[in-house]
Chain A
């Protein structure tokens, strides 16, 4: 089944403890991205990747890192999490890196992070 898989689905942790949220897609998609969703603010893009070893900042990249060493995986790294990063996170992918807005984005089911 074609899908975007995120892990973990839920995580409660403490300030400053490094964490990684994994994202994997099995559709051979070039483009992958991370979003955070907060009440009243909608979906905001954190980082995106047009292909292996190519990443760029979205609208809210501060406090996050990403890597794209393999086409299928795009982990989101919080080196020193803070309470303002408590949010619902979504990973998404689409087939080609060009004309992204013209292609359906396939989303994972989300990861709910709570930073205490």
Chain B
């Protein structure tokens, strides 16, 4: 699995857009990029996945540049309930069964 690097922590105010960038310089051709969200005292929750360009769902957007060496999770108009740890995960579509989550980014939303 490609190694990922994320900021350890970020702060933002309510109502702002938050962008969390993940670096994955050694991403392979078959790798997908997945983001998870973890609230305190809960297990991680899948939020979005992409391969290239842009993916959007009801929770977030994921931007992936052409070289795919990084990706940016975008959370629109954050609220206090978006305070969580966000993990970037890069993995092979074709059968790598071991998963590595890393340390994640602790996002704190300030009222």
User: Which of A's residues lie within 8 Å of B, judged by CB?
Assistant: 4, 31, 33, 35, 40-45, 48, 50, 56, 58-59, 90, 92, 97-102, 104-110
Contacts and interface: CB of A to CB of B under 8 A. Distances in A.
A40 B31 CA distance: 26
Interface of B: 1, 31-32, 34, 36, 41-46, 49, 87, 89-104
B58 to A, nearest CB: 15
Nearest to A58: B98
Given A40-B103, A50-B97, A59-B100, A101 B44 contact: no
Contacts of A50: 97
11 contacts: A42-B104, A43-B104, A44-B101, A56-B97, A100-B91, A102-B49, A102-B91, A105-B36, A105-B46, A105-B99, A107-B44
A10 B41 CA distance: 12
B43 A42 contact: no
A100 B100 contact: no
Nearest to B48: A104
Nearest to B31: A101
Nearest to A99: B93
A74 to B, nearest CB: 14
B49 A43 contact: no
A48 B43 contact: no
Nearest to B97: A100
Contact of B99 (A45, A56, A109, A110): A45
B96 A101 contact: yes
A9 B44 CA distance: 16
Given A42-B101, A42-B103, A110 B93 contact: no
A49 B75 CA distance: 33
Given A104-B46, A110-B43, A99 B94 contact: yes
Given A45-B101, A99-B93, 13 more contacts: A4-B43, A33-B99, A41-B103, A45-B98, A48-B97, A56-B97, A98-B95, A99-B92, A99-B94, A100-B95, A101-B91, A102-B49, A105-B99
